[in-house]
Structure 1
């Protein structure tokens, strides 16, 4: 394999972006394991006082999660939702946010987000790490990103995720956020925000298994839980596509009938996590490594699809709304692919 080395005269600004992105990427890939190892190390090597505090802390987050789903009602500390380090990370790709319709702050929203990609980078930057662009385009709407429920009972990891606006994607958690009142005078809205917008990567771990550059394969046909949640809570569904998300990483070839895919599927069923083997670039080469490729991601936010609230969603109505979401995604893909994708004529949207 011939290695393509980065040139020696790369501008310092780009070197800094690569370095910061490398740290973030390594951090995100290892965060759950690192959090558990840190807890174990502190419990093993720490003194009596530290061990006692850690036990109390671990017990507290478990009880708090059972009681209120580790909720973070506000946007949290803005210094941790928008700062120059996060902007450096954004500019590496770069990641862009495109608004196609207003999201009035008098209701709550589920953003049905596709594709998952390897890390869901575009969504996490726009609605988690660096929300300055979101707040400018969608004022008074709090951005939240749903992720695996089990992450919120892991010490240290739980607090990092909460600080970045990530929430549990459990039914109880989603119901909590999506039924929040929209009245500006309500005590819950003292921060000046009257709406919650929760991004859900609907395809999840299954869709991540199909992530390869240039391939937009969505796992959606049998995913209707988000539609039922929207109907139960009266939340509008906003389809969103992140063009370029699948291009920043490749992964070891894993066709559906391969041994690797069968192993990945078994692990996914047991843990809810796909054991991906990502392929990227290095700090000083473009051929191999764990860094994402420097390719643009454009998250296009579509128009909201309103629903009629019903605590017991009718299956026929669920199918109707689900069909509207698929139709909207197909229309968005066809409308914007030429603008935001290279080789768009060769790329098709596949919905499984």
Structure 2
């Protein structure tokens, strides 16, 4: 394979963006796996003092998660969600945010977000790592991103996730956030924000398995849990689509029923996580590596779909709202694909 090396004369700004990308990905990879090795090393080889501290810490993590769902109220630490590093991370692609309708801060929202892609980058940046653009477009609405519950039991990493505004996608955590008061005088809203918007990557691990450049394949037809949650909590559903999300990384070929896909499906059934093998670019080359490619991502936030609150959602009403979400996503894709996808005539939206 011929290697395409990055030219020597790359502008310094682009070099800084590449550094930010490499730093964040390497740091998160090391912390994700290294935290478990660190805990094991302390428990097996540490002194009695260090073992005791580690056990106390692990008990605290478990107990705190059971009690609070590991949710950090408010917008968390602003410096961890709006800084030099994350702005360069955004500009690497770049990632954009497009508003098509108002989100009044007098109610809470579920952002039904598609597609998942490999990393869920558009949502993660706009509503997690660099929320400056979100706060300008949607004032008084707190952005939150829902992720797997087990991520908040990972030592060290849980602290980073919480500081970035990530929350558990568990039922209890979502109910807690989506039933928060919208009264400006309520003690929980002293920060000036009166609404919570929780982004859920509905397709999840299954949709990630179908992610390949140019292929917009959504896992949605049998995913109705987010609709039921919206009805139970009286939250409006906001369809949102990240154009370009699937183009930043490819993955090893895994067509349905192939040995690779069967192995991935097996691991997903056991752990809930898809063992993807991403294919991207390197730090100094464009041919192979673990970094995403520079492709523009545009997250388009649609109009809210209001629901009638009910503790026991009727199946027919769930189907009605679910069908409206699908229809809105199809309209959004048709309306904006020519504007935000290069060679859009070759791209089709497939909903499974």
Under TM normalisation by the shorter chain, which class is it?
Answer: over 0.9
Give how far 1:39 is off.
2.2
Equivalent position SS for 2:182: coil
Q: How large is the RMSD of aligned CA atoms in angstroms?
A: 1.1
Q: Report if aligned partners of 1:75, 1:165 keep a CA contact under 8 Å in 2.
A: yes
Matched residue SS, 1:255: coil
TM-score (norm 2): 0.98
| Alpha-carbon distance between aligned partners in 1 of 2:327 and 2:28, rounded to the nearest angstrom | 33
CA offset digits 1:44-97 (Å, max 9, x no partner): 454433332222111011011111211211111100110011101111001111
* Deviation at residue 38 of structure 1 after TM alignment: 2.5
Name the CA distance, whole Å, in 2 between partners of 1:92 and 1:275. Answer: 25
- Measured in 1, the distance between the counterparts of 2:246 and 2:200 equals 17
SS at match of 2:350: strand
Q: Which residue of structure 1 aligns with residue 252 of structure 2?
A: 252
> Would you say the 8 A contact 2:140–2:193 is kept in 1?
yes
CA distance in 1, matches of 2:38, 2:76: 24
| In structure 1, C-alpha distance between the alignment counterparts of 2:328 and 2:232, rounded to whole Å | 21
**Matches of 2:50 and 2:115 in 1, distance apart?**
43
SS at match of 1:124: helix
Q: Which residue of 1 is the match for residue 170 of structure 2?
A: 170
Report what 2:237 is aligned to.
Answer: 237
Q: Does 1:313 align with 2:313?
A: yes
For 1:261, the equivalent position in structure 2 comes to 261
Q: Counterpart of 2:193 in 1: which secondary structure? A: coil
The CA distance in 2 between the partners of 1:131 and 1:35, in whole Å, is 27
Partners of 2:213 and 2:237 lie apart in 1 by 27
**3-state SS of paired residue (1:102):** coil
> After superposition, where does 1:76-115 map in structure 2 within 5 Å?
76-115=76-115
Tell me the secondary structure at the aligned position of residue 223 of structure 2: coil
Q: Corresponding residue for 1:183? A: 183
Corresponding residue of 1:74: 74
Q: Secondary structure at the match of 1:143?
A: strand
Runs of 4+ in 1 over 4 A off after TM superposition: none
Q: In structure 2, what is the equivalent of residue 148 of structure 1?
A: 148
3-state SS, counterpart of residue 199 of structure 2: strand
| Kept in 2: contact 1:233–1:309 (CA 8 A) | yes
> 1:191-222 deviations in whole A, cap 9, x for unaligned?
11110000000000000000000000000000
Q: Could you tell which deviates more after superposition, 245-254 or 2-11? A: 2-11
User: What's the secondary structure of 1:196's corresponding residue?
Assistant: strand
> Matches of 2:53 and 2:311 in 1, distance apart?
42
Counterpart CA distance in 1 for 2:44 and 2:122 is: 38
- 2-structure distance, mates of 1:289, 1:232: 44
1:149-171 CA distance string (max 9 Å, x none): 01111221111100000000000
Partner residue, 2:335: 335
Structure 2 distance, partners of 1:89, 1:34, is: 23
Asked whether the 8 Å contact 1:32–1:151 carries over to 2, the reply is no
Instruction: Find the residue that maps to 1:91 and give its secondary structure.
Output: helix
Give, in whole Å, the separation in 2 of the partners of 1:239 and 1:349.
15
CA contact (8 A) 1:128 1:166 kept: yes
Matches within 5 A, 1:129-140: 129-140=129-140
Cα distance in structure 2, aligned partners of 1:274 and 1:293:
21
TM-score, normalising length: structure 1: 0.98
In the TM superposition, what is the alpha-carbon distance from 1:29 to its structure 2 partner? 4.2
For structure 2, which runs of at least 5 residues remain unmatched after alignment?
Answer: none
Check the 8 A contact 2:31/2:156 in 1, yes or no: no
User: CA-to-partner distance for each residue in 1:219-267, whole Å, 9 max, x for gaps?
Assistant: 0000000000000000000000000110000000000020100000000
